[in-house]
C-alpha cells in the first residue's frame, strides 16, 4: 500500500521471537545452520581431496571439471533434484550448497599448496620432516591465506544462496521475501536483506580475523616493514 511505511518496527518487535516457525529469530537460526553446515562439510571434504589433487595432478582435472559442472547449475535445479530424495527438509538445501562449497574450496586448496615455495619444502625435508608432518606443519600453514580466501567466497555465497531455498519452503530468512512479496508488505523484505547482509559481513570478518591469527609471520613481516 502507498501509505505503508518501509519499516514497521512494531511488526519486527512482535515477530522477532513469537514462538512460531515463522519468527524472525527462528528463521535466522535455520538460515545460519543451512549456510554454515555446507561450509564445514565442504571444508572437511575439500582439504583431503585437495591435497590428493595436489599430489596426483591427474586427479585434479576430472575433479575440477565435475565440480565446475555442478557449480554452473542453478541452485534451484539442484534443490529440485534432491527434493525427491530428501523431501522438504533442510538437507535438501544443505547437500547442494556443500557441492557448491567444494567447487570453490578444492581449487583453493590446490592453488594454496601449489603456492608453497620449493625452497620451503626442501628446507623441511632437510630438517627431517616426513611427508605428513611437512604437510601439516609447513605446507598447509603457508597455504592458509589462499584457502581462507576461497573459504570467504564459499561462506558468503552459501549465506546468499540459502534464501533461494524459500521457493521449496526451506529458505531461512528467504521466507521473509516470499511473505513480503505475497502481502505487498515490505518490512519482512527489508529485515531479510539486512540480516543476510549482516551475516555475510560478520562471517567474512571472522574469517579475516582467523587468517590474522593463523598467519603470525605475516604480522611480523608488516611490523618490520
Q: Where are the domains of the chain?
A: 9-220
Q: For domain 9-220, is the CATH number 3.30.465.10?
A: no
- With b for 16 or more beta-carbon neighbours within 10 A and e for fewer, the 90-120 pattern comes to bebbbbbbbbbbbbbbbbbbbbbbeebeeee
Phi and psi at 90, nearest 5°, equal -65, -25
Residue 138 is classified by DSSP as I
pLDDT tens readout for residues 108-141: 999 999 888 888 888 888 888 888 888 888 888 8
pLDDT tens readout for residues 155-190: 999 999 998 888 887 888 989 998 888 888 888 999
Q: What is the pTM of this model?
A: 0.86
Cβ atoms within 10 Å of 69's Cβ, excluding its own: 10
Amino acid at each position: 500500500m502507498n501509505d505503508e511505511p518501509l519499516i514497521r518496527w512494531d511488526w519486527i518487535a512482535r515477530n522477532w521471537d513469537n514462538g512460531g516457525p515463522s519468527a524472525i529469530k527462528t528463521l535466522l537460526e535455520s538460515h545460519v545452520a543451512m549456510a554454515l553446515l555446507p561450509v564445514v562439510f565442504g571444508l572437511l571434504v575439500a582439504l583431503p581431496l585437495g591435497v590428493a589433487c595436489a599430489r596426483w595432478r591427474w586427479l585434479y582435472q576430472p575433479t575440477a571439471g565435475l565440480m565446475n559442472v555442478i557449480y554452473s547449475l542453478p541452485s534451484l535445479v539442484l534443490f529440485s533434484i534432491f527434493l525427491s530424495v530428501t523431501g522438504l527438509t533442510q538437507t535438501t538445501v544443505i547437500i547442494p550448497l556443500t557441492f557448491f562449497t567444494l567447487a570453490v574450496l578444492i581449487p583453493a586448496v590446490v592453488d594454496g599448496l601449489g603456492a608453497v615455495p620449493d625452497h620451503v619444502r626442501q628446507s623441511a625435508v632437510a630438517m627431517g620432516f616426513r611427508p605428513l608432518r611437512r604437510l601439516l606443519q609447513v605446507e598447509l600453514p603457508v597455504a592458509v591465506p589462499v584457502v581462507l580466501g576461497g573459504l570467504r567466497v564459499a561462506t558468503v555465497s552459501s549465506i546468499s544462496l540459502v534464501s533461494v531455498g524459500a521457493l521449496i519452503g526451506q529458505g531461512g530468512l528467504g521466507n521473509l521475501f516470499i511473505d513480503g512479496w505475497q502481502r505487498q508488505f515490505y518490512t519482512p523484505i527489508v529485515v531479510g536483506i539486512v540480516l543476510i547482509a549482516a551475516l555475510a559481513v560478520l562471517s567474512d570478518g571472522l574469517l579475516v580475523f582467523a587468517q590474522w591469527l593463523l598467519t603470525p609471520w605475516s604480522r611480523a613481516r608488516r611490523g618490520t616493514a
